[in-house]
Structure 1
Amino acid sequence: MAQTVKRAFKFRFYPTPEQAEELARTFGCVRLVYNKALEERTRAYTLQGHKTSYVQSSAALTQWKKTDDLAFLNEVSSVPLQQALRHLQAAFTNFFAKRAKYPAFKSRKKSRLSAEYTRSAFKYRNGQLTLAKLDGPLNVVWSRPLPEGAEPSTVTVSKDAAGRWFVSILCEDTIRPLDPTTNSVGMDAGITALATLSTGEKIVNPQHERADRKKLAKAQRNLSRKEKGSANRARAKLALARVYARIADRRRDHLHKVTTRLVRENQTVVIEDLTVRNMVKNHSLARAVCDASWRQMRSMLEYKAAWYGRELLVVDRFFPSSKLCSACGALQRSMPLGVRDWVCACGAAHDRDVNAAKNILAAGLAER
């Protein structure tokens, strides 16, 4: 049965100089309002012991706009400023529910540049998107169509470190589940092979960061030679960001292709619950683990399985998938990382990763 979900469609756009200036001003105001509201809420909680609500922060914003020092906040759309306060409220809600750390201040240099517009602050009509306070519609590259009859609920404008502008349009989309299949597959994530399947197939790991490591090192050396605060350093920093963006884009594209294929071909996908945070503490493997981006792959599998009527099962991280013989069930005492092939006492010869994938599949199907 088809389901209706909220889905974001991301497109690149090219603003005019006037639009870029207005959006940059909006980004700055959003950051200022977020940080000032966080400062006020922290002071109230520390000195007076009471929590500040969104309504109180919104009332404070109205007063800030009336002061001489912050009167410039009136020059940008009020909606992104209100949305910044809502995001701060959500951050505090997660903190008090012990789902996240205490909200941090937004850095001018490191924080993501973005502004969120709700329906009252933008107009989408006949394939043209116009934001409040801008002189005309955005020059959006519509790389794919929006759902038929789509009515966007929010629009988020952002600019990445490589200087690229993006617009993310949130709207409702109807997704139809895929036809049922009897196929099930277990997957063992790795470094040499991005994923080894219980069928014996090994999906290659492109190692995008490793492939561009020379370009990355050259860009980093070039940046280190530039004087801080100079225009040359700003250009070198942009060049470095573009190398990182290329790596991230290619990695994301490959993960989308792999996860989409797994979800389309199998009714049930079984994976292992990996603790990536602990794995990156191993300095010998940290770079390769980050390049593989297992957490991003799992996230893609989770939402795609939910969309298309598939089942994603997760096996406990302490399950000895590599040390267990998939033929007879015998448990080996140890299995060092250097051992890639081994023979069980029952006579079964195993490829370490294929054997682990078979055990992950069996364990997942047994526990559901």
Structure 2
Amino acid sequence: MLKAFKFRIYPTASQKQWLIQTFGCVRFTYNHLLKARQAYYLETKEIDYTLTPASLKKQYPFLKEVDSLALANAQLNLDRAFRNYFKGRASFPKLKNKKSIWQSYTTNNQKGTIYLEETYIKLPKLKEKIRIHAHRPIEGTIRSATISSRYNELFYVSLLCEVPQKTMEASNKWIGIAYDPDRLVEMSTPIDISVPKFKHVDRQLVRAKRKLVIKGRAAQHRRTHVERVKNYQKQKRKIKDLYLKQKFQREDYFEQISGTVIRNYDYLFVESISADCSEGEFSIQDWHKLLAKLQYKSQWYSKKLVLIDMQEQTNPSTGKKSLELVEIGKQVLFE
């Protein structure tokens, strides 16, 4: 199975410049190929795959200075985006923006070009090793590495490794899991996991947005464009960080729930719903994200997951789903 290990890296000033240059070249390649394919598609209603990063290097020599595998992966990502669009799974591919919070590129491990050595990591095309904070040992064989940066200030590397499948000690326990818009999950056996304080971050966002409006009005009063007002841009960045904090809070909550359930139970009977009927803190999209984590983690550790349709099986007096329907799933599983 494939498993990713994400670490913080600390490149030097010259290494930062090279990584930022690689981000730019990957973004340039992706956007250039997208524009060319979009123009060709409007004329012929077909996708032209003849233009490649290798052919772009002849016209733009600066692309030769960065990792060629990073440019090749940019093309593969664009191909995947078009496939998702034509199959109806996503919207039409969009251009990559230089002003995005996150910038990244992916490179492959070919015959040991990516490896860890004590507190350093070696990346292709980069002669000097980059200092890394490997807070846990990696497992298996490294297949690829994704280098990302936040505001081009904080840098990370995510190593995708091929690891053998693990098995946990069998507990022969089962648990029923249903959707709850306020806590995300309702379980037949309650687990002790506290819901993150989203309202605290919401209040911070309201105040931050109010300050941004005030700073924008002040800039308008001075007849100065907001792009040149430092305190406005600083406040705008604070708002982006708060949104990112909200995202990390939710992801951490999903990880805690899925990890606790997988460690303690062998049989999972999970509600399967598709319509968005939530009016609480967690939407149906959050539920699907949790369900995806439960599905791949159950495969990792040889657990049994059964989806049960409980939409029509609600208590009319309380409006809550009956987790006694897990008995139906048990019959399905053990028969």
| Same fold flag (TM > 0.5) | yes
**Which residue matches 2:14?**
18
Letter in 1 for 2:122: T
- CA contact 2:101–2:150 (8 Å) conserved in 1: no
- Cα drift, residue 18 of structure 1: 2.3
**Which residue matches 2:154?**
164
**Which residue matches 1:154?**
144
Alignment of 1:153-232 (within 5 A): 153-160=143-150, 164-199=154-189, 201=190, 206-224=195-213, 225-226=215-216, 228-230=226-228, 231-232=230-231
**Which residue matches 1:328?**
none
- CA contact 2:184–2:282 (8 Å) conserved in 1: no
Are residue 65 (structure 1) and residue 61 (structure 2) matched?
Answer: no
Counterparts in 2 of 1:313 and 1:170: CA distance versus 1, 3 Å:
same
Alignment of 1:276-355 (within 5 A): 278-279=276-277, 285=279, 288-290=281-283, 293-316=286-309, 319-323=311-315, 335=316, 340=318, 353=320
- CA contact 2:181–2:283 (8 Å) conserved in 1: no
Question: Which moved further from structure 2: 262-271 or 161-170?
Answer: 161-170
- Quote the Cα distance in structure 1 between the aligned partners of 2:5 and 2:12: 22
Aligned residues: 321
- Cα drift, residue 269 of structure 1: 0.8
- CA contact 1:8–1:170 (8 Å) conserved in 2: yes
> What SS is found at the alignment partner of 2:82?
helix
- Cα drift, residue 186 of structure 1: 1.0
**Which residue matches 1:348?**
none
- CA contact 1:158–1:166 (8 Å) conserved in 2: yes
Letter in 1 for 2:51: S
- Quote the Cα distance in structure 2 between the aligned partners of 1:279 and 1:21: 48
> What SS is found at the alignment partner of 1:139?
strand
- CA contact 1:27–1:114 (8 Å) conserved in 2: yes
- Quote the Cα distance in structure 2 between the aligned partners of 1:303 and 1:103: 27
- Quote the Cα distance in structure 1 between the aligned partners of 2:197 and 2:33: 40
- CA contact 1:162–1:241 (8 Å) conserved in 2: no
**Which residue matches 2:136?**
144
Unaligned segments of structure 2, at least 5 residues? 220-225
> What SS is found at the alignment partner of 1:152?
strand
**Which residue matches 1:116?**
106
- Cα drift, residue 34 of structure 1: 0.9
Alignment of 1:48-63 (within 5 A): 48-53=44-49, 56-58=50-52, 61-63=53-55
**Which residue matches 1:347?**
none
- Cα drift, residue 169 of structure 1: 0.3
- Cα drift, residue 205 of structure 1: 5.2
- Cα drift, residue 110 of structure 1: 4.2
Question: Which moved further from structure 2: 176-185 or 303-312?
Answer: 176-185
- Cα drift, residue 140 of structure 1: 1.5
- Quote the Cα distance in structure 1 between the aligned partners of 2:79 and 2:178: 39
- Cα drift, residue 111 of structure 1: 7.6
**Which residue matches 2:65?**
75
- Cα drift, residue 307 of structure 1: 0.7
**Which residue matches 1:246?**
245
- CA contact 2:271–2:308 (8 Å) conserved in 1: yes
Unaligned segments of structure 1, at least 5 residues? 324-334, 341-351
- Cα drift, residue 170 of structure 1: 0.9
- Cα drift, residue 296 of structure 1: 2.3
Counterparts in 2 of 1:33 and 1:191: CA distance versus 1, 3 Å:
same
**Which residue matches 1:84?**
74
Fraction of identical pairs, as percent = 24
> What SS is found at the alignment partner of 1:185?
strand
> What SS is found at the alignment partner of 2:81?
helix
- CA contact 1:162–1:242 (8 Å) conserved in 2: no
Are residue 29 (structure 1) and residue 2 (structure 2) matched?
Answer: no
- Cα drift, residue 273 of structure 1: 2.1
- CA contact 1:34–1:106 (8 Å) conserved in 2: yes
